[in-house]
Chains A and B, each alone.
Chain A
Amino acid sequence: MAQEGQEHPISTYLWVWILLFVLSACSYAVDYVGFQGFTRWSLVILFMFLKAYFICAVFMHMVWERMALVLALFIPTFAIIVFVGIMGFESDYTQLGRKVFFDTGKPATVYAVPHSEVHKESHSEKGDH
């Protein structure tokens, strides 16, 4: 029977561990420094995928597994991207509908508001959109 265990030098794990610490610190720094817009989300996504890659590849031993298993797990995740695309399109459309039909220019518009809430004052604390 083939070797079924996964045994790798402890230094490999320690290096990846340090790397994950650094990457986490980097993504936290993105918020701490206060980057906004394109810089912010491109950096957040970059660090996120790097961390996900190293956890999958080394901690979960994916780089040492056979292609049959790797592809069986990797290919189905592309369906998620399609789903993100569909729902992204849908939410744009929903927001447009809400803006056209419900947005009166005032905060806390009328849709889905419990009856008890209708007469309350709307909250004043608002960030930018």
Chain B
Amino acid sequence: MATTSKIPLKDGMEGFVSDWASDQRAFKGVPWGKAMMWIFLLSDTFIFSCFLIAYMTARWSTVEPWPNTSEVFSLTVNGVSVPLLLIAIMTFILITSSGTMAMAVRSGYQKKRKQAGALLFLTAILGLSFVGMQAFEWSKLIAEGIRPWENPFGARQFGSVFFMVTGFHGIHVSFGVLFLFITARKVLRGDYDTGRRGFFTWQKGRYEIIETLGLYWHFVDLVWVFIFAFFYLW
């Protein structure tokens, strides 16, 4: 539709504002909140890429041998040392939580209030257990003498990369868990059916919000896939 000729274009700062505020839409068939979440996730992709590239640079440029992650992250079960056991469990938990999240989105669109709420709650609990295991892993490694500036296993850059990358990911998971609990409560209370306004934005929520939150949660899982491959398995 050619409707642009109806309104005269403004110049200067006024024009800048009216141009950016004009009613145009690039991402059709997508609620704006979801499109904005995608844009945020793209920028977050670049942040995590920078961390992983920094890790690559540190690892390739050091002249000291890199610690063997298979041994550093092993757990001893019944006297047998199993490599990367905790990391593997964490990976499976995060994938499982992604699965429950995907099903929560589906239940939400079907307006199955209780099912969607329960699945969101389950996702949050799984996320919480992931953060708990990460806290356990951190305290175990700190007790073994790994610090951001040195460690007993090899190249000293190992500690700083480990704490920075897994810490930043862990913060992402923690915030995801927080929003999962908030959204689960809202869904179970029926906010998206009654059009109850949110406590912070004062906007009426809709079941689409579960999909937007789901995108964030799957992204956290996605980042873990790359951290698992590059940091733990490489």
Tell me if A126 and B65 are in contact (CB < 8 A).
yes
Which of chain A's residues have a CB closer than 8 A to the CB of B61?
90-92, 94-95, 98
Any A CB within 8 A of the CB of B215: yes
Q: How many residues in B have their beta carbons less than 8 Å from beta carbons of A?
A: 68
Roughly how many angstroms separate A28 CA and B226 CA in the complex, as a whole number? 13
Which residue of chain A has the shortest Cβ distance to B67 in the bound complex?
A127
Which of chain A's residues have a CB closer than 8 A to the CB of B28?
2, 66, 68
Roughly how many angstroms separate A35 CA and B222 CA in the complex, as a whole number? 24
Which of chain A's residues have a CB closer than 8 A to the CB of B9?
none
Tell me if A127 and B49 are in contact (CB < 8 A).
no
Tell me if B225 and A99 are in contact (CB < 8 A).
no
Q: How many residues in A have their beta carbons less than 8 Å from beta carbons of B?
A: 68
Tell me if A80 and B46 are in contact (CB < 8 A).
yes
Tell me if A31 and B70 are in contact (CB < 8 A).
yes
Please give the distance in Å from B219's CB to the nearest CB on chain A: 8
Tell me if B154 and A4 are in contact (CB < 8 A).
no
Tell me if B64 and A108 are in contact (CB < 8 A).
yes
Please give the distance in Å from B93's CB to the nearest CB on chain A: 11
Given the known inter-chain contacts A14-B99, A127-B68, A127-B154, please indicate yes or no for A73 contacting B42, CB distance below 8 A.
yes
Tell me if B234 and A88 are in contact (CB < 8 A).
no
Roughly how many angstroms separate A2 CA and B103 CA in the complex, as a whole number? 22
Any A CB within 8 A of the CB of B95: yes
Roughly how many angstroms separate A31 CA and B64 CA in the complex, as a whole number? 22
Tell me if A84 and B109 are in contact (CB < 8 A).
no
* Most chain B beta-carbon contacts within 10 A, residue among A2, A21, A123: A123
> Which A residues are within 8 Å of any B CB, using their own CB?
2-8, 10, 13-14, 16-17, 20-21, 24, 27-28, 30-32, 40-41, 44-45, 47-48, 51-52, 55-56, 58-61, 65-66, 68-69, 72-73, 76-77, 79-80, 83-84, 87-88, 90-92, 94-95, 98-99, 102-103, 107-109, 114, 117, 123, 125-129
Counting from the closest, the 7 A-B pairs by CB-CB distance are A91-B60, A48-B229, A94-B61, A17-B99, A91-B61, A91-B57, A5-B109
Given A69-B38, A72-B42, 19 more A-B residue pairs with CB atoms under 8 Å apart are: A2-B28, A2-B29, A7-B109, A10-B106, A30-B233, A40-B233, A44-B229, A48-B230, A60-B222, A69-B30, A76-B46, A77-B45, A80-B46, A80-B53, A83-B53, A91-B56, A95-B62, A109-B64, A125-B152
